[in-house]
Amino acid sequence: MILIAGLGNPGSRYAGNRHNIGFMAAEAIARRHGLGPWRRRFQGETADGMIGEERAVVLKPLTYMNESGRSVGEAMRFYNLGPGDVVVLHDELDLPPGKIRVKTGGGHAGHNGLRSIHAHIGPDFHRVRLGIGHPGNKDLVHFYVLHDFAKSDGEWLEPLLDAIADAAPALARREFASFQNKVHLALNPEPEKPPRVPGGGAAESS
């Protein structure tokens, strides 16, 4: 079993914020794999079911970002899981928009949601870092993350969420390198090779 927690802030005021990309990814996974219905528990909302062949619980903490660890810790203990059974989806300023990296353990790099989870379950959980880009000035970070994605961001955001949902079975199996690679390939498909012709050469285009 795996616990997948998407981080964000509750309520319509925050729904479209860059800080809420973790919520968006969690919802995309639940929707794609028919999890649910969503129900209130563990100081959050959960949707559970099967992702591929693995049982999964998707969690959206409703404690606000800074107290995410209270919800994640409660759910983890209820299911008798360890930190290694927890995957956290969160926004990442230090990655370009639309890029994704999976990491296990490490510091929280000033992310308040991760800081709270560290405090409640320790550092040894898995993180799916979802790039939102950096505003270029640290004084602008608070304003940047708590404001909505621009309309133009939809060009990369929607394909990213779709790719994450499609690749979620690998995430549920804890095949993190495979998950990351599947998302990358979905967003950056390899160009088609020209057809081969007799004699071993490639066909010429007219």
Residues known to be catalytic: 19
What is the crossing angle of helices 68-78 and 112-121, to 10°?
40
Q: For residue 102, which of 83, 133, 84, 128 has the smallest C-alpha distance?
A: 128
Q: How far apart are CA 102 and CA 194, in angstroms?
A: 34
Q: Which amino acid is at 40?
A: R
Helices assigned H by DSSP within the chain: 21-32, 68-78, 112-121, 141-145, 154-172, 176-187
Pair type for strands 44-51 and 39-41: antiparallel
SS3 state at 90: strand
Q: Tokens 């903490």, residue? A: 61
